[in-house]
Structure 1
Amino acid sequence: METKLSVIRLTLVVALGGLLFGYDTAVISGATEALQNYFQLTSTELGFAASSALIGCVIGALISGDSSTRFGRRGALFIAALLFLISAIGSAIPQNYWTFVVYRIIGGIGVGIASMVSPMYIAEVAPPARRGGLVACNQFAIIFGMLVVYFVNYGIALIGTEQWLNHTGWRYMFASETIPAGLFLVLLFFIPETPRWLAMKGRDEQAQKLLQALSPGENVSNQWHEIQASLSHKDKPSIVAAGMLGVLIIGIMLSVLQQVTGINVFLYYAPTILKGFSSSSIDIALLQTILVGAVNLSFTAVAIFTVDKFGRRPLMMIGAFLMAISMIAIGTAAYMNAIGGYLLVFVLLYIAAFALSLGPVVWVLLAEIFPNNIRSKALSIAVFAQWAANFLVSQTFPMMNDHQSTIYQTFNGGFPFWLYGIFGLFTVFFIYRWVPETKGRSLEQLEQLWHKKQHIHGEAALH
């Protein structure tokens, strides 16, 4: 860790947790038909097999705060890596349906932990000037993991006949995750704990040496004093006692708004939606992967290089506004029965805007806005809210899009898109009104910012 590349190397290792996040959640996409045939599943059972990992994600998010505080950020990532490995092996060898579901839930717990701890680790080792871009790398890794597993699944499907795929091939799809999971587990042995966790545990000498190693040639004494000051109230670990309930509410709202603006509608239901836009004979699933995936990845890369230059607020406000406009346009076209292939432009605009803003930047903010003493606990709660909102949106969209439903018949399918568009406009207002700019500040300086805001609000209340 003696060079300036140290932080980049650490980020690449920890971002493997993000890659496994994307890999694990998307690996089932290529195996659904084979699973249905092999286990003779009803549509309800197949749906639960696909969504059961979300149960694990919620559990993982709930326990990630305690595990990352007790065992360390690296320790929690070790747990996630082991769970990914167990899930990959277990999902590949089951002889019955419920065994398969249990192992998918285990993988989901790994996703829930990694989704919280990976960005937190990166934020705690990154210098303030580059923190936004480095944390955004984790979101890039998630999307990259999804694309990688699509091509892995496609390659496995080409190996044998359809009968082979239904009986054996699908097992190779899940087993393929052992490669990135094993690599992640091994590489974690070669990274340190974060300076802030070491300081929190009273291991000051180690923390100081690591802080200096992460910033070679720089004087880190001021930053070290800030870290010590932020941890000086160890008798007040409670979020409420620490006076940070307002910050937690902002974190929860950012998490929920990232989901209720409709991103998973396109990630999970794009084939269904795109088929409705056009009668084209193009393979819709391939269209989704190539276009939506490529746009998502490309604009996340743009966010990595711009979030520390332009700041968090401008990217999120512009992105949320473009997302809202796209959703409202799609909803209006559906309502007026003006559906056509041209709407793919609005889908791609929406995906690009999300990838530039709410996708990576929400994770950046969640990783950096919470004070050292409560970061694990608060981030765990915010990520739990995110997975809960993910589940809510994923479950309600098919209901609102059911052609037999009153909502669908009344609004001709436009209602859910209008709803997500309204949430997008509210997101712009919420960010403008309550989310401060955080670029270029140390985590401890941000903590002081929240304390100052609270002091000002307190004085205003007195007068």
Structure 2
Amino acid sequence: MEKKNNTYLYLVCLVAALGGFLFGFDTAVISGTVSLVKSDFNLSAVSEGWFVSCALLGCIIGVSCSGKLSDKYGRKIVLILSAVLFLASALGCMLSGSFTGLIVFRLIGGLGIGVASMVSPLYISEFSPSRFRGMMVSLYQLALTIGIVLAYFSNAWLAGHTANTFGNAELTKIFSAEVWRAMLGLGALPAAIFLVSLFLVPESPRWLLLRGQEQKATAILIKIDGADAAHKEVAAFNAIKGKGNTEEGSIKELFTPIYRRALWIGLLLPFLSQVCGINAVIYYGPRILEQAGFTLNNALGGQVTIGLVNVVFTFVAIFTIDKWGRKPLLFVGIGGAVISLIIIGVLFALNITSGPWILIFILAFIACFAFSFGPVCWVVVGEIFPNAMRGKAMALATLSLWIGNFLVGQLTPIMLEGLGSSWTFWLFALCCSPALWLTYKLIPETKGRSLENIEAYWKDTYTAKN
């Protein structure tokens, strides 16, 4: 009988995590292009916000469709769709002939991000054994942060080589005169790698179980975690399914008293993770650092530092989330993020913009987010929903995340102009604070629990309460 293979587990989860890499790269690469595109197309503040946030609108549409598609056709085929959308967007943005064309291809990229942002962590969560699930899903966030930092590196490198000329006029336009084209087009390479790699991974075993393909699912589970664990998981799945659950759960079940708490967690935690201001720093980091006295090139360099800190502190979550649990990381990280945001606002209010202080506390905020909100949010929303409706439920949770993301992307330049940097960061601190209450009051500790055990927990809790 085939034995478990940890290497196989890691490789499959890394392939799925490439969706996070493309998510991070595509959302962060925009930061280095904003001022360049604004100059080339003479954009107003509203048009600038639309250029940044139009992809987020695509994300919302993509997420809205991804839950039903992934439940109907499988997680793998929908991930392949996201890779195709990423590839088309990168090439289209690089070659677009107008601002309207650029917006259209940014929207297509947004569709890909929206689909991948939901299905990638869903796939990893369903694929991973319970004792490794926190770490494996955190790989998605790690890939996301690596995508962000590589976008910063590539932006900074391309911005520093705009004096170069090429024999071909089109290449000179892309890599020199309008270098933002090269910045956006570079995403085609990882998108192609993601697309090819997806043909080598299996379908989610829990989706196969939902479709009655128990033999295929068992074979995959044995390869992941050994025969004993595989047969226990299949038995637990069948036990829950035998209690009257249909093959494909209705989203209406989430609004019943049994799962209402899970629904609140799934809607609030992702939303709060965005309105804390993380993407204001990612999208508008160079502009914020310029307001703090950095030049554009130094601001891009500061943005690279932000990205590196994001990567490094994500490893804290990877190595501790399955040991310490989800709630301790959330408490420490969110508390530190709120304090850092308040201090940044005070520094701007007192005009203490010379020296490294603004950058230091921005880095502190990023570090706190990187080991708490960032990875733990994806882990929790991938765990708390019942098997039969997990795809649709995670689509709702991810939709909530992208609505928050869209609002931050659209409103940040208006807030920076109208309210100033200090009040902008204080508002982010205010929006971040309720997550502490949410963690204390609603979120259960899910460390080490199987997905079927967590599903049974909601039913048992409701039965005991009533």
**Same fold, TM exceeding 0.5?**
yes
2:340 to 309, 326, 342: 326
Unaligned runs of 5+ in 1: none
Range with greater deviation from structure 2 (208-217 or 10-19): 208-217
Tell me which residue corresponds to 1:12: 14
Paired residues of 2:342 and 2:425 also in contact (CA < 8 A) = yes
Q: How many Å apart are 1:13 and its aligned residue?
A: 0.7
Alignment of 1:13-28 (within 5 A): 13-28=15-30
2:246 to 234, 237, 243: 234
Q: How many Å apart are 1:67 and its aligned residue?
A: 1.1
Identity between Structure 1 and Structure 2 (%): 39
TM-score by length of 1: 0.90
Range with greater deviation from structure 2 (156-165 or 126-135): 156-165
Is 1:138 aligned with 2:152?
Answer: no
2:108 to 102, 106, 109: 106
After superposition, the Cα gap between the structure-2 partners of 1:376 and 1:310, relative to the gap in structure 1 and judged at 3 Å, is same
Unaligned runs of 5+ in 2: 166-171
- CA distance in structure 1 between the partners assigned to 2:195 and 2:7 by the alignment: 21
Range with greater deviation from structure 2 (86-95 or 311-320): 86-95
CA RMSD of aligned residues (A): 2.4
Tell me which residue corresponds to 1:450: 458
Q: How many Å apart are 1:92 and its aligned residue?
A: 2.1
1:182 to 162, 176, 192: 192
Q: Give the letter aligned to residue 437 of structure 1.
A: E
After superposition, the Cα gap between the structure-2 partners of 1:169 and 1:281, relative to the gap in structure 1 and judged at 3 Å, is closer
SS in 1 for 2:253: coil
- CA distance in structure 2 between the partners assigned to 1:54 and 1:429 by the alignment: 28
Q: How many Å apart are 1:54 and its aligned residue?
A: 1.1
Tell me which residue corresponds to 2:423: 415
Range with greater deviation from structure 2 (334-343 or 12-21): 334-343
- CA distance in structure 1 between the partners assigned to 2:80 and 2:382 by the alignment: 19
Paired residues of 2:52 and 2:409 also in contact (CA < 8 A) = no
SS in 1 for 2:29: helix
Q: Give the letter aligned to residue 180 of structure 1.
A: P
Q: How many Å apart are 1:55 and its aligned residue?
A: 1.3
After superposition, the Cα gap between the structure-2 partners of 1:400 and 1:93, relative to the gap in structure 1 and judged at 3 Å, is closer
Q: Deviations over 1:328-387 (max 9, x none)?
A: 222334444555532333221111110010011101111111111110111101111111
After superposition, the Cα gap between the structure-2 partners of 1:448 and 1:319, relative to the gap in structure 1 and judged at 3 Å, is same
Paired residues of 2:289 and 2:299 also in contact (CA < 8 A) = no
Alignment of 1:429-444 (within 5 A): 429-444=437-452
After superposition, the Cα gap between the structure-2 partners of 1:186 and 1:149, relative to the gap in structure 1 and judged at 3 Å, is same
Paired residues of 1:4 and 1:216 also in contact (CA < 8 A) = no
Q: How many Å apart are 1:84 and its aligned residue?
A: 0.9
Give the length in aligned residue pairs.
450
Tell me which residue corresponds to 1:123: 125
- CA distance in structure 2 between the partners assigned to 1:33 and 1:269 by the alignment: 10
After superposition, the Cα gap between the structure-2 partners of 1:152 and 1:399, relative to the gap in structure 1 and judged at 3 Å, is closer
- CA distance in structure 2 between the partners assigned to 1:30 and 1:417 by the alignment: 21
Q: Deviations over 1:236-257 (max 9, x none)?
A: 7223336323211111110111
Paired residues of 1:297 and 1:355 also in contact (CA < 8 A) = yes
- CA distance in structure 2 between the partners assigned to 1:275 and 1:88 by the alignment: 28
1:48 to 50, 60, 80: 50
Tell me which residue corresponds to 2:60: 58
Q: How many Å apart are 1:235 and its aligned residue?
A: 6.7
Is 1:353 aligned with 2:368?
Answer: yes
Paired residues of 2:25 and 2:148 also in contact (CA < 8 A) = yes
